Amino acid sequence: MIEVCPKRNLFISFLDWHFHEAFLNIVGAWRNFLSFNLRYFSVGELSRTLFSHWHKMGEGYGRGFDLPRFFSVFIGNTFSRILGAIARSVFIIIGLAVELFILLAGLAALLFWLLLPIWVLVAGLAVFGLLLV
């Protein structure tokens, strides 16, 4: 007869779940949060288009060469690119700051998850007065 559910010690099953399955699920969720944040703030796209015109508000130089028109368009386009770079830089910095927060919060959550069984054991022993301090 084939055994559907292998007989294992309940404590060993818990440790396997806690330190393997649940740990991998937490790491997977953490990776999803990190990936979502980078996409939410469009960090990659904003980095690629850092010096593009602000809202594509660039002027063409037109036909022929007119020196005053050339400098006017050049200064306007440069100003538009600088304004775009400043705005994009702000959002990139905010996105990276949130990414750092998620990274640190995930590390704290993983550390908490790994130490939770020890904390529960110590707290349980302390409640029952079995801990010799």
Would residue 4 count as lying in a domain?
A: no
Would residue 34 count as lying in a domain?
A: yes
Is 70 exceeded by the pLDDT of residue 62? no
pTM value > 0.95: no
The continuous run of DSSP H or E covering 18 comes out as none
Please tell me the predicted confidence (pLDDT) of residue 40: 96
Query: What is d(CA 66, CA 55) in angstroms, rounded to the nearest whole number?
Result: 26
CB count within 10 Å of CB 116 equals: 11
**Residue 92, Cβ density class (10 Å: 0-12 exposed, 13-18 middle, ≥19 buried):** middle
Q: How confident is the model at residue 123 (pLDDT cuts 50, 70, 90)?
A: confident
Would residue 41 count as lying in a domain?
A: yes
Asked whether 54 and 80 are in contact (CB, 8 A), the reply is: yes
Would residue 110 count as lying in a domain?
A: yes
Task: Tell me the residue range of the domain where 76 lies.
Answer: 10-127
Would residue 5 count as lying in a domain?
A: no
- State what percent of residues in the chain have pLDDT above 90: 48
Mean pLDDT for 75-90 is 89
Tally of domains in the chain: 1
